[in-house]
Amino acid sequence: MAEPEPVRPDIAPGFVPLDVSGLPHTLDGLLSRAAAARPGHRAVVTAERAMTFAELDASASTLAGVLCARLTGRRQVVAVAAALDPDFAVAYFAVARGGHVAAVVNPLLREDDLAHVLNLSGARAAFVDAGLYPRLAAVRDRLPELEHVFLLGPDGQPTGAAESFPEHLAELLAAAPPGPAAPAAEPAPDDTACLHFTSGTTGRPKGVRLSHRNLVVNARQIAVAHALDGTSVTVNHLPTYHPMHLNSAIHALATQVLCTTPDPTASVLAANQYRATHLYSLPFRLARLARDERLPGLRLDTVAHIASGGSALAPDYATRLSEHFGVHVFQGYGLAETSPLTHSDDPHEPVPGSVGRPVAGTECRVVDVDRRRGLQAGETGEVQVRGPQVMRGYLGAPEGSGVAPDGWFSTGDVGRIGPDGRLFLVDRLKDVFKYHNWLVSPSETERVLRQHPLVADCVVFDHPENDAGAVAHALLVLRPGAGAGGSAGPEDVAEVCRLANSRLPYFQQVRYAEAVSSIPRSPNGKVRRRELRDRYLGAPGDTVEVPGAPTVPR
């Protein structure tokens, strides 16, 4: 068998080197540096409270001392629920300052996944918010290594908790002895600082080991890519507090405003109130804002950039928001394994549908899914990245696990690189399928379905087909008033699919479809196609088989 062609390292043109001068060696050094440079400047702001860089730094030092007194041994794992509250920032940096490892936990996890990530990480202590605490209490007997539980976030007893409940972070700080903390010896730059967990869309969440160097370098990469500096004010309108936004803003000496109200218009009001320069949100929230009937009455006074991340934002929604507010909407790309950001579009000149070019210090290439050979610009294959933000390896696996010996990481995402180096994502590798040996991207079919005026939302997955591989199966959320009498029927579903199929190559056309009331999504807005496929295939329902699809050319 012939050897595969070597992958060329210059598939994505325009590599930009990264300046790492002046970067601290440790994660908590980002905060020390910010507190020394701008002690009185506001670091984190909510509707209820605000913390300056000096206050955040002092609280982190005090809590680091408390943790060192409570935990025996060096480099213990401390879980920190990523609640959208300044307390997360305090606990996150305190764990690093104490020489321990922070396991960042999604506060929206249910009991089984919560037990899984805490056991996987071997957490000895956990900071959780009031909403997560009852779920933790329900599985506490399954967590033999967990010794200490503390509360963070707004004061108050957790819902459904017993009369005796854990100490609050504020109580720990108030009771701590005065004076500087005495944490463990400073870790090395390549020591693990943080554990992130994959989204679990293709199996149980995996633990990702990120070093101090990974996180500090990525903080600078993000700040440069997003044009963040000491004059920036960012609004964080995500369900949880992602360390990406915390680390990059602290590095840039920027102020972060945490908007905890899910209503998409709340982020606009908060941006105007605090004179924000950047608005960060998720695609499903920005899509809701673009469709909101209140949009015509909204304006952005000072925001220069709207940033979307986590999954793909449909280009028409990005264009609608950009044209309405008169500001650019840009997207980025990254994974838990890459700290997370590897790509960002130009905040000043974004291209709808693209996640942009690699951030400074990062290389990107696309390889054939089967043969693993390098592909030319414009060809579709699996995306691979290499850079200083790529993880040390998966938790519980050997050093460097998941990363090739030459440093390339296979993302599991399918995409193509344009001639100018911009990356266009197509789908998750585990979501694409083949029909007549053609690679079918569910996202591409969904994009065309959404162009129909009756379609409010949709998802496509594979439906096994004898001999041919699989065909597209669509779930459609039709807009109110669709169909005769205001309710959607099989004829509406068929009509939507017929029009979409007329605009698609035969191998991407929809064969089966049905109307549903909503598309289930994870808390961060991602669609779990595997779960939907298992739920709907073979289940009783109003599945429509679209006549004549796919229309195979003769």
The pLDDT tens digits of the residues spanning 446-464 come to 988 999 999 999 999 999 8
Question: How far does Cα 89 stand from its chain's mean position?
Answer: 18
CATH of the domain at 535: 3.30.300.30
| Bond from prior residue into 550 cis (ω within 30 degrees of 0) | yes
User: What are the strands of the beta sheet with 423-428, ordered from one edge?
Assistant: 363-367, 381-386, 409-417, 423-428
**Token pair in block for residue 440:** 């079918």
pLDDT of 223 > 90? The answer is yes
- Of 231-245, 351-365, 369-383, 436-450, the range with the lowest mean pLDDT is 436-450
**pLDDT value for 4:** 40
- Of 221-235, 239-253, 360-374, 421-435, the range with the lowest mean pLDDT is 421-435
**pLDDT value for 1:** 34
pTM for this prediction: 0.82
pLDDT tens digit string along 399-421? 889 999 999 999 999 899 999 99
**pLDDT value for 6:** 43
| Bond from prior residue into 264 cis (ω within 30 degrees of 0) | no
At which of 177, 193, 210 does a domain end?
Answer: 210
Phi, psi for 553 (deg, rounded to 5): -65, 145
**Token pair in block for residue 270:** 């908060």
pLDDT of 161 > 60? The answer is no
Q: What is the band of 550 on the pLDDT scale with cuts at 50, 70, 90?
A: confident
**Token pair in block for residue 402:** 């998941």
Q: What is the band of 482 on the pLDDT scale with cuts at 50, 70, 90?
A: low
In a domain, 523, yes or no: yes
Distance separating alpha carbons of residues 455 and 498, to the nearest angstrom? 13
Cβ partners under 8 Å of residue 503, min gap 6: 448, 451
pLDDT of 138 > 80? The answer is yes
What percent of the chain lies above the pLDDT cut of 90?
68
At which of 159, 192, 210 does a domain end?
Answer: 210
In a domain, 387, yes or no: no
**pLDDT value for 483:** 57
pLDDT of 38 > 50? The answer is yes
How does 178-194 read in b/e, with b if 16+ C-beta sit within 10 Å? eeebebbeebebebbbb
**pLDDT value for 200:** 57
Cβ partners under 8 Å of residue 466, min gap 6: none
**pLDDT value for 437:** 62
CATH of the domain at 125: 3.40.50.980
Cα end-to-end distance, the chain, whole Å: 34
Number of domains in the chain: 2
**pLDDT value for 203:** 58
In a domain, 55, yes or no: yes
pLDDT of 160 > 80? The answer is no
pLDDT tens digit string along 285-318? 898 899 999 999 999 999 999 999 877 788 889 9
State the chain's mean pLDDT as an integer: 89
**pLDDT value for 506:** 81
Q: What is the band of 155 on the pLDDT scale with cuts at 50, 70, 90?
A: low
Distance separating alpha carbons of residues 176 and 132, to the nearest angstrom? 25
In a domain, 537, yes or no: yes
Q: What is the band of 10 on the pLDDT scale with cuts at 50, 70, 90?
A: very low
Distance separating alpha carbons of residues 535 and 538, to the nearest angstrom? 8
In a domain, 552, yes or no: no
CA atoms within 13 A on the CB side of 529: 20
Domain that holds residue 112: 28-210
| Bond from prior residue into 144 cis (ω within 30 degrees of 0) | no
pLDDT tens digit string along 494-525? 999 999 999 887 888 999 999 999 998 877 67
Question: Do the Cβ atoms of 479 and 453 come closer than 8 Å?
Answer: yes
Distance separating alpha carbons of residues 232 and 224, to the nearest angstrom? 12
What percent of the chain lies above the pLDDT cut of 70?
91
Spatial CA neighbour of 459 closest among 445, 469, 470 = 445
**pLDDT value for 72:** 84
Cβ partners under 8 Å of residue 365, min gap 6: 7, 8, 9, 11, 12, 374, 375, 383, 384, 408, 417
The more confidently predicted of residues 286 and 184 is: 286
In a domain, 373, yes or no: no
At which of 153, 181, 210 does a domain end?
Answer: 210
In a domain, 247, yes or no: no
- Of 21-35, 93-107, 426-440, the range with the lowest mean pLDDT is 426-440
In a domain, 345, yes or no: no
- Mean of the pLDDT values across residues 518-547? 83
- Of 6-10, 97-101, 343-347, the range with the lowest mean pLDDT is 6-10
